[in-house]
């Protein structure tokens, strides 16, 4: 699955989560929303999908979906849609560079910020170096594993967790070390982050933002994901508390949030970092999720996995130009003009077919192109040359599985354009009509 297709599919899921968050945030566990954001992140980052038969799509669209005609820069543009495609084909040659430039710039910006914070946190001192502080911490850090370090730093004002393989809980030196409730709440909250591997997920969210910077829904995902994982951690911690303990937990959050640090790395999880007012509201209004709510949450999570499923059959091969946003209808007219049929190398990918289409449209002398899938080519051949019995003898197999092609229409510069077409990587044969 290509980058643009993943962005569109994940965008639909993100929009659905936004609607669900708006109307059912109080009725479902906050961990459901954190998990939904993680599913959307995986869809943005992972290029694969599970292929399944989809008879419904085939019945709705049939083979006609594979008929696509796009105007090239040399064509006679007769409709507004054709003009848009022409502009798109012009930008096609430069859009890759623009995309890469922005993506790399964002990645460099975030990487430099991560390195800066890593260097600063090297100044942190292990808590064992402080006598009284170390004793107080030792009483209240139950549940911490040996791989989790505890350090103290005077450059921050609120606790945070930093690191992936060997996470460290970084405590501000200005904390009230005698407040055992505060220390206990902080450690329980940060351990919830560590068990959920939230720092890794934040790093993946930054990667998704770099790759899909052109999709505004991904930006919404990034900010709401960071907010919801904090709320989900709060829910995990307070689920075993009574009302008075929840009040003390909320008060601790207020105290630490008032001193929120200027050093707030995007890949860190902090007790007092994000959406304090909303977190306090959710803490004070906390109600245990009912069995019905849990079942609904499970079904919602199961349904979200549909973004990893794609239809197998005619609809997969039929639309290599989904990114051009022109399908199903001809743009302009090429009747009576000269044309050639362009066949692809055996085993070529759908992404490369799309790229070849863009390169054909960009050639001077090309009026337009029309895509024909291998299934459609076989259907036309069978209808014209085979009897019903002969067709049945093939047992549903397509002997023309490598016959997908573009029909290229020319404006009059056929002899100059055909050698350029033959030079395109992935073109196996060009047949002139």
The DSSP bridge pattern shows strands 269-270 and 366-372 to be unpaired
CA angle 211, 214, 216 (to 5 degrees): 110
The mean-pLDDT minimum among 24-38, 97-111, 299-313 falls in: 299-313
Q: Is the pLDDT of residue 75 over 50?
A: no
Q: Rounded to two decimals, what is the model's pTM? A: 0.62
Max distance between CA atoms of the chain, in angstroms, equals 93
Indicate the pLDDT class of residue 216, thresholds 50, 70 and 90.
very high
- Residue 6's pLDDT is 87
21/14 Cα distance (integer angstroms): 10
120/173 Cα distance (integer angstroms): 15
- Residue 40's pLDDT is 92
Q: Is the pLDDT of residue 269 over 70?
A: no
The half-sphere exposure of 324 on its side-chain side, counting CA atoms within 13 A, is: 35
Q: Is the pLDDT of residue 336 over 60?
A: no
* Domains along the chain with CATH numbers: 62-101+312-432 (3.30.70.3040), 102-288 (no CATH)
**Which of 103-117, 144-158, 182-196 is most confident?**
103-117
Q: How many CB atoms lie within 10 A of CB 264?
A: 15
pLDDT tens profile 406-431: 888 887 777 888 888 888 888 888 88
- Residue 314's pLDDT is 43
- Residue 140's pLDDT is 57
Q: Between 134 and 421, name the one with better pLDDT.
A: 421
Distances (CA, A) of 55 to 1, 11, 60, 249, 381: 20, 25, 9, 54, 23
| Residue with token string 């995309």 | 99
């Amino acid at each position: 699955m290509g980058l643009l297709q993943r962005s569109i599919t994940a965008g639909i899921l993100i929009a659905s989560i936004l609607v669900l968050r708006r109307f059912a945030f109080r009725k479902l566990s906050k961990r459901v929303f954190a998990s939904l954001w993680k599913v959307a992140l995986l869809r943005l980052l992972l290029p694969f999908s599970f292929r399944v038969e989809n008879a419904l799509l085939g019945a709705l669209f049939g083979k006609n979906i594979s008929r696509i005609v796009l105007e090239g820069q040399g064509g006679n543009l007769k409709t507004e849609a054709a003009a848009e495609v022409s502009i798109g084909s012009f930008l096609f040659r430069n859009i890759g560079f623009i995309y890469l430039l922005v993506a790399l710039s964002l990645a460099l910006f975030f990487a430099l910020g991560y390195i800066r914070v890593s260097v600063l946190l090297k100044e942190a001192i292990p808590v064992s170096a402080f006598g009284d502080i170390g004793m107080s911490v030792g009483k209240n850090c139950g549940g911490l594993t040996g791989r989790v370090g505890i350090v103290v730093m005077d450059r921050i004002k609120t606790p945070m967790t930093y690191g992936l393989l060997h996470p460290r809980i970084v405590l501000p030196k200005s904390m009230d070390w005698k407040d055992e409730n505060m220390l206990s709440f902080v450690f329980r909250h940060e351990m919830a982050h560590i068990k959920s591997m939230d720092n890794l997920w934040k790093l993946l969210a930054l990667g998704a933002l770099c790759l899909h910077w052109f999709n505004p829904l991904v930006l919404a995902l990034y900010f709401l994901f960071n907010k919801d994982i904090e709320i989900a951690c709060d829910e995990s911690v307070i689920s075993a508390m009574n009302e008075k303990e929840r009040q003390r937990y909320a008060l601790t959050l207020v105290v630490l949030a008032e001193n929120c640090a200027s050093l707030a790395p995007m890949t860190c999880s902090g007790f007092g970092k994000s959406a304090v007012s909303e977190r306090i509201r959710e803490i004070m209004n906390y109600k245990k999720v009912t069995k019905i709510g849990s079942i609904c949450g499970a079904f919602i999570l199961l349904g979200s996995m549909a973004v990893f499923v794609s239809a197998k059959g005619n609809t997969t091969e039929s639309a290599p130009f989904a990114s051009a946003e022109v399908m199903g209808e001809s743009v302009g007219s090429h009747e009576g003009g000269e044309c050639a049929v362009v066949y692809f190398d055996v085993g070529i990918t759908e992404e490369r077919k799309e790229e070849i289409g863009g390169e054909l449209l960009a050639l001077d002398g090309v009026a337009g192109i029309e895509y024909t899938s291998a299934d459609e080519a076989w259907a036309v051949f069978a209808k014209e040359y085979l009897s019903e019995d002969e067709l049945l003898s093939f047992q549903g197999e397509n002997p023309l599985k490598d016959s997908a092609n573009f029909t290229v229409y020319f404006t009059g510069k056929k002899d100059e354009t055909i050698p350029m077409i033959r030079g395109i990587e992935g073109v196996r044969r060009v047949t002139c009509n």
